[in-house]
Structure 1
Amino acid sequence: MNVLIIEDEKRTAQRMEKLLGEYDPAIRVLAQLPGVAKAVAWLADPANSRPELVFLDIHLEDGSGFQLIEQAKLTIPIIFTTAFDEYTLQAFKANSVDYLLKPIDADELGTAIDKFKNLRASPTPDLTDILHLLRETSGSGSPSVAYKERFMVTIGTKIRSIETSDTAYFFFADKSTWLTTAEGLNVSIEYSLDKLGDLLDPKRFFRVNRAFLVALDSIQTIHAYSGGKLKLDLRPPPRLEVFVSGDRITPFKEWLGK
């Protein structure tokens, strides 16, 4: 079976390909594509093999998966891979399109592929109903904005759901992105800080420098230094001192004043 992975997080795409190979070594991943433009070009190239199934992220590097569906006039069966679990996604299943909530669970992936195999003998699912649903829920031709409400994380052998409202900040260290809860728990997550900037409510979270994305509620004290520098005391205290980058000071002050 030939499949296509359209996902802008390289580590997530690589993990997806690994899980697919473990599920069925006969599955062939034709390509991993990070965005709408590259996917449209790849699908339009007659030299490329036709995929039988597409794994599609909703938020891509240059647009949304729904834009890709429209631009490429995509009718290939799709399994959405997403960070969201709002009610809109639940409706996709009624249209013979499944979705997987990140981080991808191996058993759920297998179930989704089994569902696809059972539907293969039927006509290809029509995506018109999905696009119509999106327009109805957004009130326009584009999907409405929905911010991530929780994160599924693995702690040892246990899986835990952490509410975004319980998150103090995110930071990058040791080649990984970490989530810190209000109680001081640090857990690794499969998102870059750039990606989190798209997923989180900008009224509540701000990227203060290259390594930290902080929640408004986590800022305890702001220290002003000569030269306009700003140092933040966060709750709970991080391992390193946190300064607002020079190019972010003005938008940071504007954000605080909203």
Structure 2
Amino acid sequence: MNVLIIEDEDFTADRLEELVHQYDASITILAKLPSVRDTVQWLRENLSTNRPQPDLIFMDIHLEDDLCFRIFEQVHLPVPVIFTTAFDEYMIKAFRVNSIDYLLKPVNYESLVAAMQKYQSLKRQFSQTDLDTLKEAMGIRRADYKTRFLINVGTRLRTIETIDIAYFYSEEKITFLVTKDNQRLPIDYSLDKLAPMLNPVDFFRANRQFLLSLPAIKNIHTYSNSKLKLELTPDPKTEVFISKEKVSSFKDWLDT
């Protein structure tokens, strides 16, 4: 059996490899990949060739350059996946299905064994799966993403539709939601928790401070050190950059 590990934390990747071999020493770890970019490159070079193919993938949700969902958008991946996540109950509920399981970080041996046993019992089901079936089984459907947010405004509660949001930004440990008509409202989520709640086709994590929608991008300028500088609308009153490491995935997102 061949396993591919997609995880951006070296310690976690090494620990997962140890647990997999504890479960079955004969399992081959084909590679340990830290990013969307490296994974897409590896898959394009190895799938549909005579090289050993992965039978199962362990995949972290938050990789060093983007969310793992970007992988599914760039390559056809006819391989069952067990997600690993450090996110709270919202994400756990989003990915809990009756097929391949998730592993909640820090990964322990008991949860890995349960996930592997579930994989073995469903192996026939996944032998001919395609990308759409895999997405459906893993709960990656557009309907699973947030369509509205409940916001406290003084003593009032109001809802903001996701399609009306231009971007989110973080400032002094507070996260703000900015609507297309320039309403700026505090929200009880960090950007790290918000990103997996939003459809990655519609929102992109530009940097540690901004999570933005495509309609919010007014202009894109090349900048020094291969970075990109964005003009957003409404104007955030601060400079917004795409780092050199994220330029490739950002361009792919724009071209989706």
Tell me the TM-score normalised to structure 2 length.
Answer: 0.51
SS at match of 1:122: helix
Q: Indicate which of 95, 100, 103 corresponds to 1:97.
A: 100
Instruction: Kindly provide the amino acid, as one letter, of the partner of residue 16 in structure 1.
Output: L
Inter-CA distance 136–16: structure 2 relative to 1 (3 Å threshold): closer
- Alpha-carbon contact 2:7-2:35 (below 8 Å) kept: yes
Q: 2:123 aligns with which of 114, 120, 125?
A: 120
What's the CA shift for 1:84?
A: 1.3
CA contact (8 A) 1:85 1:101 kept: no
1:74 and 1:131 mapped to 2: Cα distance? Answer: 15
**Identity of counterpart residues, as a percentage?**
43
For 1:8, the equivalent position in structure 2 comes to: 8
Residue type of the alignment partner of 1:127: L
In structure 2, do the counterparts of structure 1 residues 123 and 70 end up closer, same or farther at CA, with 3 Å as the change threshold? Answer: same
Partners of 1:22 and 1:40 in 2: CA distance: 28
- Report what 2:109 is aligned to: 106
Give distance in 2, aligned partners of 1:198 and 1:9. Answer: 19
Q: Is the 8 A contact 2:61 2:83 kept in 1?
A: yes
- Taking the aligned partners of 2:99 and 2:7, their CA distance within structure 1 comes to 21
1:105-254 matches, cutoff 5 A: 105-124=108-127, 126-129=133-136, 130=138, 133-139=141-147, 199=192
Aligned residues: 149
- 1:53 corresponding residue in structure 2: 56
Shift of the 87–22 alpha-carbon distance from structure 1 to 2, 3 Å rule, reads same
Match of 1:30 in 2: 30
Residue pair 1:5, 1:32 contacting (<8 A) in 2 also: yes
Tell me how far apart the structure 2 counterparts of residues 21 and 106 of structure 1 sit (CA, whole Å). 11
CA RMSD in angstroms comes to: 3.0
Give the AA of the match of 1:100: L
**Aligned 8 A contact 1:81 1:101 in 2:** yes
- Residue 42 (structure 1) aligns with: 42
1:138 shift after superposition: 2.9
| 1:33 Cα deviation after fit | 0.1
Q: Aligned-pair distance for 1:135?
A: 4.7
Deviation at 1:122, TM superposition (A): 2.0
* Displacement after TM superposition at 1:198 (Å): 7.0
1:65 counterpart = 2:72: no
Question: Which structure has the larger Rg over C-alpha atoms?
Answer: 1
Unpaired stretches in structure 2, ≥5 consecutive residues: 148-161, 168-189, 195-256
Runs of 5+ in structure 1 lacking a partner? 146-196, 202-258
In structure 1, what is the Cα distance between the partners aligned to 2:6 and 2:43? 11
Change (3 A) 1:120 1:131: closer
